[in-house]
Amino acid sequence: MIQKQFVVNGVPRNIFVDQEATLAKVLREQLHLLGTKVGCGEGMCGACNVILDGKLVRSCVIKMKRVDEGAQILTIEGIGTPSDLHPIQRAWIKHGGAQCGYCTPGFIVSAKALLDENKSPTREQVRDWFQSHRNACRCTGYIPLVDAVMEAAKALRGEIKPEELDYKLPADGHIWGIDSRYPRPTSVAKVTGTIKYGGDIALELPPNKLYLALVQAKVSHANIKGIDISAAEAMPGVFKVVTHKDIKGNNRINGVAFPTNKGDGKERPILCDTKVFQYGDAIAVVCASTEAEAKAAAEAVKVDLEVLPAYLSIPAAKAADAIEIHPGTPNVYYYQYLRKGEETKPIFDNPEVVVAEDSLITSRTPHMPLEPDCAFGFMHDDGAVIVHSKSIGVHLHKIMIQEGLGLADDKLHLVSNPMGGTFGYKFSPTNEAIVGACVLATGRPCYLVFNYHQQMQYTGKRSPFYGTIRLAADKSGKILAMETDYDVDHGPYCEFGDLLTVRGVQFMGAAYDIPNIRGEGRTVCTNHAWGSAFRGYGGTQAQFMTEIVADELAVKLGMDPWEFRHKNALRPPGTNPSGQVLDSYSYVEMLEAIKPKYDEALKKAKAESTATHKKGVGLAAGSYGCGLDGPDSSNAYVELNADGTITVCTAWEDHGQGADMGAVGTAHQSLRPLNIAPDKLKFTWADTRNPVSGPAGGSRSQVMTGGAIRVACEAMLKGLAKPSGGYYTYEEAKAANVPTKYDGTFSVPGVPLDANGQGSPFMVYMYGVCMAEVTVELATGKTKVDKITFNIDIGKVNNRMIVDGQLWGGVAQAIGLALSEDFEDIDKHKTMIGGGFPYIKDIPDNIELQYFENPREHGVHGAAGVGEIPLCVPHPAIANAIYNATGARVTRIPALPERVLEAIKNKA
């Protein structure tokens, strides 16, 4: 240890530190400046940015020995406070720069450093700055961040007043609709770093809290012969080492498997008992006073393993000599069929038809939220175990872990923390049961915060599809039939693996009128990372595969890809692959709107292509459903409080997508007759003690929970209406004995797929048509996306700023999905950079969005969802643009330079 004197946010501080400690840890754990976030922890994301002696640094990699005596340190807390926002913070709010908000302090500190040295940067200079300082954002697609910096710079130059950046309510007081840019209610807390994420709250737990260090498998498949915790338990600071023996329930996560699943869905242990199924599996947990003590003791736990062959791919797991990963359950454990229209074999066998066929592989995409997975729990005085995590399905997860922990219904509650992004991985429980088990075993508050390698290696991933698609068309280009055959590598745990396989048949070729389809999908158990939800879940993989083959078919037909799509786009009375009539037939409208831009883009690409750099234009169309499969419902209540505020209570989890704004915006629109100020509406964080709203996945929340809020608000309007006109105040309602709390339930009559894959699984869909413009460097195969033009039909737009942000961010993820992101190599891909995280210069500053506001019957105030659609369409458009540029067809994503290069060579 050493002592140094620093000036932190203008205040001199004596600091006593381990020289090897990082500045980020010292700021957070010693000085409690929790606005500085730790994302990757290895200098790849900039969430931890601070200004050190005038220079922007990533504090997670600055060791204290490198911080000079007398150093001046500026953190987000020193830039502005909720009551005194800095112009950069005001601009960040205005432009919706904070979605999950986890990268926000780091970006704002970075922007401050930039504007300190360059008062008038160009947009490209801003982008260069964020690129060179590795400021990573996973939510916004970076565009609103550059907008915010440009406008903050104006304010700092005195060209506009800082107050001009603040939101002004329109005269009629509405905040709902495509003209609304009402900032999300959490934005002030996010731009000031005062919102507390799970890892922040963990540090604020009472002093008797215990840090949890996992003992994790370093092999992918093994039998466990013994676990020896004796040495670890004797180490300093160790309160207890928890193993499966301490778990009172059945020690299994309930994967809520379909009845037709060959497994029972209960194959994932909370803590491994008999076997290790994948790299990183948790075998024991050291509960200790400090992180260092817990980690040291975790190293001392001895695990005796009999290593088994690891099946890290579908072919390996399906091989004849492969043993059953879960003894008693075949490695191929679920089958999904699609039979629509006539038999397809005769059609394909007909020599008159033109057939395109290809085999395609999608990636094991890592979600790469800025915030690594974290949770904490404690024993409530009412006798219940409370676990706070990044759960985006608190009620669902409670069901999934309750039996494993052996807890009665009133003895377990799950709560969602403010989260630094999940993008779906938290549709599966991760740490909840482990934390719950440790709380039960120790009686102490416990917290578990993953480092980024753990985030990458021990949370679910987007499951790869391996498959073959065949499309047949007549000579005019009209699609006659489709055949699909695919395997889904879902890793060792089935959780929703069956559902994901269903998504394949629902969305393969979903944009087109395909009268005859035969398809078969299979879910395969492997020893690679377990599959979890990810934006566009299934639709992403399905539509990549069919949009590539559709493009190939157009080529074979000698048709322009736009012409081919326009000809085949679903029109009334055509039905989607599930045989369902669409809730909005907008493909044609969107395709036609994109046509002039497409023609222009083609011309431009041709003109700008050089001998070394080829430009190309690609198209894709697609859709995704809003909801769970089949019937779905959600619940909410609204309650008028004594202070005149109204609580909008749901379990709508906010993983950065904007549940706060969704709840407040929906309620505000539904309560317009009350003429209440929007800041009088209070949203709630999701909690199993709130009404059951269902998980925040599959773009269902705005539709379903928004619907429940609307119903509750309508009941409130009715209930509070005075016979004489107007509405009761709280006092008046109490005096008149009129209820102040109103429940709302909203249901949709979805019909799940039958044995032939036919049904009406979703009552609301989103649709999109995307055009990608790319440049491919022929020598390297490196692809750059120059522009994305995205036409979208998500029904009525509820808030332009939120929806733009969701789409820009989704497109950015689609670019990463198309070009760089993967988690195939457990070691190489365990970091953000290794995993192919897209930085700002990977994302074009030009993402053009056009909305086609066809109101939805089942959408609240006409709105559908939004989150999944950008992950369903742009990535095949990019792959098709690579083909357009080079003539080389990429059939596996990510289209890494080496794959593109190989495709170019194969073509030659």
| Pick from 313, 265, 304, 450: nearest CA to 370 | 450
Compute the least distance from the CB of residue 382 to a second copy, in Å: 8
Residue span binding a second copy (CB under 8 A) among the ranges 30-38, 327-335, 473-481, 658-666: 30-38
Nearby residues of 735 by Cβ (< 8 Å), 6 or more positions away: none
Q: Is 756 in the site for a second copy (CB under 8 A)?
A: no
The 3-state DSSP class for residue 295 equals helix
Q: What are phi and psi of 49, to 5 degrees?
A: -55, 135
List, in order, residues 6 or more apart from 599 with CB less than 8 Å away: none
Residues 386-405 that bind a second copy (CB under 8 A): 386
If one asks whether residue 660 binds a second copy (CB under 8 A), the answer comes out as: no
Task: Retrieve residue 728's tokens.
Answer: 């009761």
Residue 851 beta carbon to a second copy: minimum distance, rounded to whole angstroms: 33
- Please return the burial class of 352, using the count of CB atoms within 10 Å of its CB with bins 0-12, 13-18 and 19+: exposed
Stretch that binds a second copy, among 202-210, 476-484, 520-528, 876-884 (CB under 8 A): 202-210
Which one, 30 or 729, has the nearer CB to a second copy? 30
- What is the Cα–Cα distance from 637 to 741, expressed in whole angstroms? 7
Q: Do residues 865 and 657 lie in contact, with contact meaning Cβ atoms separated by under 8 Å? A: no
* Direct distance between the N- and C-terminal alpha carbons of the chain, in angstroms, rounded to an integer: 63
User: 3-state class of 72 per DSSP?
Assistant: strand
Query: In angstroms, what CA-CA distances link 821 with 8, 421, 510, 815?
Result: 38, 17, 25, 9
Q: Could you tell me the smallest distance in angstroms from the CB atom of residue 348 to a second copy?
A: 60
Q: Which is nearer to a second copy, 300 or 545 (CB)?
A: 300
Asked if 207 touches a second copy (CB under 8 A), the answer is yes
The DSSP-derived string for 396-455 is HHHHHHHHHHT--GGGEEEEEPP-S--TTGGGS-SSHHHHHHHHHHHSS-EEEE--HHHH
Q: Which of 53, 154, 237, 717 binds a second copy (CB under 8 A)?
A: 237
DSSP conformation letters of 772-814: EEEEEETTT--EEEEEEEEEEE-BS-SBHHHHHHHHHHHHHHH
Q: How far is the CB of 562 from a second copy (least distance, A)?
A: 51
Binding mask 217-236 vs a second copy (x if CB under 8 A, - otherwise)?
A: -------------------x
User: Closest CB to a second copy among 237 and 315?
Assistant: 237
Q: Restricting to residues 354-383, which ones interact with a second copy according to CB under 8 A?
A: 376, 378-381
- Asked if 870 and 790 count as a contact pair (C-beta separation under 8 A), the reply is yes
Residue 550, H or E segment: helix 539-557
**Nearest-approach distance from CB 800 to a second copy, in angstroms:** 27
Restricting to residues 254-293, which ones interact with a second copy according to CB under 8 A?
Answer: 289-293
Q: Which is nearer to a second copy, 255 or 418 (CB)?
A: 418
Decide whether 81 or 329 has the Cβ nearer to a second copy. 81
Stretch touching a second copy by CB under 8 A, among 29-37, 468-476, 597-605, 808-816: 29-37
* 518 sits in which H/E element: strand 516-524
Smallest separation (angstroms) from a second copy to the CB of 189: 7
Report residue 312 as tokens.
């890290």
At closest approach, how far in Å is the CB of 415 from a second copy? 8
Sign, CA torsion 854/859/863/866: negative
Q: What angle do CA 747, 749, 751 make, to 5 degrees?
A: 135
For tokens 């059609």, name the residue. Answer: 347
Residue 451: how many other CB atoms lie within 10 Å = 15
H helical segments located in 95-244: 104-117, 123-132, 143-156, 187-191, 198-203, 230-233
- Rule CB under 8 A: is residue 30 a binding residue for a second copy? yes
- Span of 18-26, 247-255, 559-567, 891-899 interacting with a second copy by CB under 8 A: 18-26
Nearest residue (CB) to a second copy, 378 versus 852: 378
Nearest to a second copy of 32, 218 (CB atom) = 32
Q: Beta-strand (E) ranges in 207-258?
A: 210-216, 222-228, 238-242, 252-253
**Least distance from C-beta 85 to a second copy, angstroms?**
12
For position 642 contacting a second copy by CB under 8 A, the verdict is no
Which residue is it, tokens 């737009």? 797
CB of 11 to a second copy, least distance (A): 5
Q: Is 31 in the site for a second copy (CB under 8 A)?
A: yes
642: DSSP letter: T
Q: Which stretch binds a second copy (CB under 8 A): 17-25, 55-63, 113-121, 539-547?
A: 17-25
In the bound state with a second copy, the residue whose beta carbon lies nearer, of 205 and 555, is: 205
One of 1, 320, 607, 755 touching a second copy (CB under 8 A): 1
CB of 645 to a second copy, least distance (A): 10
Site for a second copy in 668-727 (CB under 8 A): 685
b or e along 482-502 (b: 16 or more beta carbons within 10 Å of the residue's beta carbon)?
bbbebbbbbbbbbbbbbbbbb
Question: Long-range contacts for 896-904 (Cβ within 8 Å, ≥24 apart)?
Answer: 896/781, 896/819, 896/820, 896/822, 897/777, 897/780, 897/781, 897/782, 897/783, 898/781, 899/781, 900/776, 900/781, 900/782, 900/783, 901/780, 901/781, 902/781, 903/781, 904/778, 904/781
Nearer to a second copy (CB atom), residue 197 or residue 624: 197
> How many residues sit close enough to a second copy to count as binding (CB under 8 A)?
48
List binders of a second copy among 290-349 (CB under 8 A): 290-293
Contact stretch for a second copy (CB under 8 A) within 26-34, 106-114, 585-593, 820-828: 26-34
The answer to whether residue 868 is catalytic is yes
> Of 267, 432, 639, 868, which residue is the catalytic one?
868
Structure tokens that stand for 127 in this block? 């982008």
Backbone phi, psi, residue 419, to 5°: -125, 140
CA nearest to 499, candidates 428, 394, 549, 575:
428
Question: What residues between 733 and 752 interact with a second copy by CB under 8 A?
Answer: none
Task: Give the residue, chosen from 6, 239, 427, 683, that forms a contact with a second copy under the rule CB under 8 A.
Answer: 239
Tokens coding 557: 């037909």
Site string for a second copy, 438-457 (x = CB under 8 A): -------x------------
DSSP state, 75? Answer: -
Within 638-772, residue ranges assigned H as helices are 659-670, 701-720, 730-735
Nearer to a second copy, 29 or 560 (CB): 29
Within 77-106, the residues that bind a second copy by CB under 8 A are: 82-84
Give me 66's structure tokens: 């490198």
> Cβ closer to a second copy: 82 or 749?
82
* Minimum distance of a second copy from residue 532's CB (angstroms): 26
Kindly tell me which of 208 and 846 has the beta carbon lying closer to a second copy: 208
Please select the residue that binds a second copy; options are 164, 201, 310, 666, rule is CB under 8 A.
201
Site string for a second copy, 458-487 (x = CB under 8 A): ------------------------------
For the segment 167-196, give every residue that binds a second copy (CB under 8 A): 189, 192, 194, 196
Least separation in angstroms between residue 72's CB and a second copy is 12
Identify which of residues 3 and 737 has a Cβ nearer to a second copy in the complex.
Answer: 3
What is Dmax (Cα atoms) for the chain? 84
Q: Which of 71, 150, 160, 205 binds a second copy (CB under 8 A)?
A: 205
647 binds a second copy (CB under 8 A): no
Positions marked catalytic: 868
Applying CB under 8 A, the residues found at the interface with a second copy are 1-3, 10-19, 21, 26, 29-32, 82-84, 189, 192, 194, 196, 201, 204-208, 236-237, 239, 289-293, 376, 378-381, 386, 445, 685
